[in-house]
Structure formats: C-alpha cells, structure tokens
C-alpha cells in the first residue's frame, strides 16, 4: 500500500511538471518530418533483470540511438507471476528537453504514459533534435505493486554527431563514477582515479578531434 501511495504522488508530480513545461514549450514541432513516418523502433524494458534491461531486439538500448524523424515506442516485461499476465503501468518523463513529438498532435512529448491495457503510442524524433537526452522512467508492476525507477538516455544523430553525443555521455558517466571511488581503500582509490583520469583524457581528445573536423 505505501508503494501505491508513492506511485500516485510520483504520477501527480510527473503530470504537474510536464504540464508546466509543455505549457511553456507548446509550439508545434516536427513540421519538417514526412507525413508518413517509418514503423516504430520498439524498446522492451525488462524489470525482471537486475539491473533493468533495455533492448531493441538483442541490442542494448539503455543509450537508445535514434535518427531524426524515426519513431519509437516502449513495452514492459515484468517478473513472472501466478496470474500468468504482465500487468504494468509505465511513465516516461523528459524533465528538461525532449527530442520527441507526438505525431497525432505535432506537440513536444515531455510526458508519455502507457500500460499493458493501453500501450504507448509511437512517438517521433523531431527533425531539429540532436545530442543526448536524459529521461526518467517509472514502472509499476501492478501484480506486486513494486516500482522500478530509472534514468536512461536517448542519443539523436548520425555519424560524427552520434559519436560526439556518445563520448559526451561517456564523459558524464566517468565523472559520476569518480564520486563513488571515495569509499574504496587509499591505494585502490588512487589507482581507480588514475585510470578514470586517463580514460577521461582520451575521451576528451577524441571529442576535440571530432569537433575540430566538423
């Protein structure tokens, strides 16, 4: 029961936040995408694994790579239960910027919701989108009432733009990992710091070379 309460608060918070953001950014988008959009890329979020997995077919989609005007949707797989069903609710929120728009309304898609009874409609990547976009996912297993929060990424671009976005994202991950090193022993801490600094330096060199070649 407490989990349900938390979910209701999160759901309300997501809707309130998204509504305020969309209200400030309600201009139509996607105007330069073709009327006939391609079939959607389907991302399966499996909360039965630890950590939660994101797959497009057999490919890892935690950092989902998309091109402009490509469409995408999400489905959820929950742990097996005696009912033999897969009941869930899923909420997806882009808190800052969204690369997606709803082809039915031509408006930015900051808040996306769905369930096993009402699957998520296909969203399209705006023609002007580029770079890395973080989004929040909250999944509720309706059989156990357990919640599964996460914060994956969408990377939009091709060629150098995609590579640049990937490297920038990797740099962010290295910085985040460095904050956890302080819990290690002194020698191990020093070794890990040196390794991460070397990786960060190499990534920055590649990123600079990519930016210089544009």
Place of tokens 């096993």: 116
Q: Does domain 2-156 have CATH number 3.40.630?
A: no
Q: What does the pLDDT average to over 98-112? A: 93
* pLDDT tens, position by position, 186-212: 766 676 667 667 666 665 655 555 555
Which contacts qualify for 101-109: CB closer than 8 Å, 24 or more apart? 101/29, 101/30, 101/126, 103/30, 103/37, 103/71, 106/28, 106/29, 106/30, 106/31, 107/22, 107/26, 107/28, 107/29, 108/22, 108/25, 108/26, 108/29
132 — pLDDT class (breaks 50, 70, 90): confident
Domain ranges of the chain: 2-156, 160-212
> Does 51 sit behind a cis peptide bond, omega within 30 degrees of 0 on the bond before it?
yes
Return the pLDDT at 83.
Answer: 87
Give which of 35, 75, 57, 65 is closest to 152, Cα–Cα: 65
Distance CA 149, CA 47 (A): 10
pLDDT at 6 over 50: no
Q: What does the pLDDT average to over 9-26? A: 49
The residue that leads in pLDDT, 83 or 175, is 83
């Amino acid at each position: 029961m407490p989990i349900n309460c938390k979910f209701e608060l999160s759901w309300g918070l997501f809707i309130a936040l998204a509504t305020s953001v969309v209200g400030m950014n309600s201009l139509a988008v996607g105007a330069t995408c073709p009327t006939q959009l391609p079939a959607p890329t389907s991302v399966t979020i499996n909360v039965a694994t630890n950590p939660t997995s994101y797959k497009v077919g057999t490919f890892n989609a935690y950092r989902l790579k998309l091109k402009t005007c490509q469409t995408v949707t999400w489905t959820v797989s929950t742990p097996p239960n005696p009912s033999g069903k897969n009941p869930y609710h899923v909420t997806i929120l882009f808190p800052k910027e969204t690369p997606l728009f709803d082809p039915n309304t031509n408006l930015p898609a900051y808040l996306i919701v769905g369930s096993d009874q009402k699957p998520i409609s296909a969203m399209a990547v705006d023609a002007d989108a580029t770079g890395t976009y973080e989004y929040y996912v909250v999944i509720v297993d309706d059989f156990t009432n357990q919640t599964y929060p996460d914060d994956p990424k969408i990377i939009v671009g091709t060629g150098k733009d995609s590579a640049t976005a990937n490297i920038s994202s990797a740099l962010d991950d290295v910085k985040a990992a460095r904050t956890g090193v302080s819990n290690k022993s002194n020698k191990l801490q020093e070794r890990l710091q040196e390794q991460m600094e070397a990786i960060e330096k190499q990534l920055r060199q590649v990123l600079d070379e990519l930016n210089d070649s544009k």
